[in-house]
Amino acid sequence: MQIDGTIVAPDEPASWDPNYARLWLHFSKLNGIIFQGNGVIDGSGSKWWVTIDSSTGVKVKGITVQNSQQMNFVITRCNSVRISDVIISSPGDSPNTDGIHITESTNVVLQDSKIGTGDDCVSIVNGSSNIKMKRIYCGPGHGISIGSLGKDNSTGIVTKVVLDTALLRETTNGLRIKTWQTAAVEISQIMYRNISGTSKSPKAMKFSCSDTVPCSNIVLTNVNLEGKDGTVETYCNSAQGFGYGIVHPSIDCLTSHDKDYTFTPDIIEVSEATSQEIVHAEL
């Protein structure tokens, strides 16, 4: 599907099929589909979603999605998806405008893309695994997030997520894992490596975990976060892990320092970074 012009949504979904009120562009049950071009999909500020659903072998390249009032671009129940060279743009003060929302999907690669929204640049939720992101620019927005998970005490499973080479600027958060219920979701085997930046919050790192199901096996190495207005600190609650190399601010509040633990995250092969400002980050 070649998109080279501008597709503009109607102002309101009222005239649309009431059974699919938010599905303006909905692609479902496809196998081996390519969306490409230099075109623009303009949500016109209305409550429209662009959704790819229950599909396999999907490629999206070069397209701009802008001005959605809700989630800009949704990948749901898909396998083998590659998104590259896309631009997602919504105002920084627009609520719930997740850039790319991934749910119940596996083997998704997102690369070389620029995302600015009023919510998470990328959100990855239940039933998703093997999600790889590289060379991502995020801002404005709420950062890059796994979750929220565990709403209404439900089971939420997300595994094998890697973010490699990203620049987050003017975001309200950096990298987040979000859960609803303190006893519903167990978080483990998380690595933060080669991350540097400036925090507006005095709590530059926050590991606020469940007393019932503590976070475990959190590893940090070569992390350096400075404060924009003064010193910064790390907050911990029921979090187990350790750091090595340079880690600032201190993570002495983590309850375990077992450096014999071995955890090797998935690694993405990437080309040489072209900017001194690009930050390498892995979860």
CB 242 within 8 A of CB 271: no
Q: Which of 142, 248, 257, 280 is catalytic?
A: 142
- For residue 15, which phi and psi values (nearest 5 degrees)? -85, 0
Question: CA–CA distance from 23 to each of 16, 36, 139, 246 (Å)?
Answer: 9, 20, 26, 47
CA dihedral for 142, 217, 131, 23, sign (positive or negative): negative
CA nearest to 131, candidates 169, 96, 157 = 157
277 contact partners, CB below 8 Å, separation of at least 6: 167
What tokens were used for 215?
Answer: 């976070």
For residue 272, give the DSSP letter.
Answer: P
Is-contact 199 172, C-beta < 8 A? no
Helix (H, G, I), strand (E, B) or coil at 20: helix
Q: Which residue is it, tokens 């979860």?
A: 283
Q: Are 137 and 274 in contact (CB under 8 A)?
A: no
Q: In what order do the strands lie in the sheet with 188-199?
A: 188-199, 215-227, 239-248
The verdict on whether 142 is a catalytic residue reads: yes
Print burial letters for 219-254: b (CB count within 10 Å at least 16), e (below 16).
bbbbbebebeeeebbbebebbbbbbeeebbbebeeb
Q: Which active-site residues does the annotation give?
A: 142
